[in-house]
Amino acid sequence: MLTKSEVKYIQSLSQKKFRDEEGFYIIEGPKITGEALASPQVKVNRVYALEEWADDNASSYPGVEVQVVSASELQKISQLKTANQVLAVAEIPKGRFRFKKHLLSLALDGIQDPGNLGTIIRIADWFGIEQIICSKDSADAFSPKAVQATMGSIFRVELLYTDLNEWMDQQEDAHFYGAALNGTPLKSLPELSDGIIVIGNESKGIRSDIMKKVSRKITIEKWGAAESLNAAVATGIILSHVKGSSE
């Protein structure tokens, strides 16, 4: 049985304010919870699961406390429309972020939608991008929606939330690329092994003060009439091009 205060506590982690205070976030569903439990990088604090999941899985993770709950209890603490077998509470990583300058990285300037943010983290992971710098007003990657959208990539990509403007000023000799109208056509860009690709807000793009620090504006060529591309789609297209070919 879950106590009322446990239910309240877990529900509170759906809000950024409480996540920041407590330092924990929620992971849901057997696939991503399984990944979290198997990853040495992720500190899972507690698992709430239906009996069936617990019977099949709990013994695989001897160090983790698995509490069996009923379907209706699980639904109470779930952020999903339909709760999915298991929910875990994990620690928000607190390690110091050390920017690795020799790698290709992403910077997000005000991505608002948690689903977009999560999808961008998943794309970054696909293309081997290890670090993402997020402006402070970007959506929180540890919100339940963002975590779900990362499909587990949240466990593999390092994030820094900071004043993006100041952070850019501190990066000496760094090359910043930014998606913009009237930039260099993406296709004429060479492969990149380092540098930071800045992705702007879904409707407003990159802020003008950030754009001033972008050394190269790049444009995804348009052939039809759509006004814009989704920010995550643009990220995927740019990364696919600049990562070149592994052959």
CA atoms within 13 A on the CB side of 236: 14
Among 65, 71, 185, 209, binds a second copy (CB under 8 A): 185
Distance (Å) of CA 71 to CA 3, 8, 51, 78, 108: 15, 17, 9, 10, 38
Among 83, 108, 186, 242, binds a second copy (CB under 8 A): 186
Site for a second copy in 213-242 (CB under 8 A): 220-230, 232-237, 240-241
CA angle 160, 161, 164 (to 5 degrees): 100
Nearer to a second copy, 60 or 184 (CB): 184
Nearer to a second copy, 114 or 236 (CB): 236
CA angle 94, 146, 170 (to 5 degrees): 50
- Should residue 113 be labelled a site residue for a second copy when binding is judged by CB under 8 A? no
Among 68, 92, 151, 174, binds a second copy (CB under 8 A): 151
Distance CA 50, CA 67 (A): 8
Query: Under the rule (CB under 8 A), what is the footprint of a second copy?
Result: 119, 122-129, 151-153, 156, 185-188, 220-230, 232-237, 240-241, 243-247
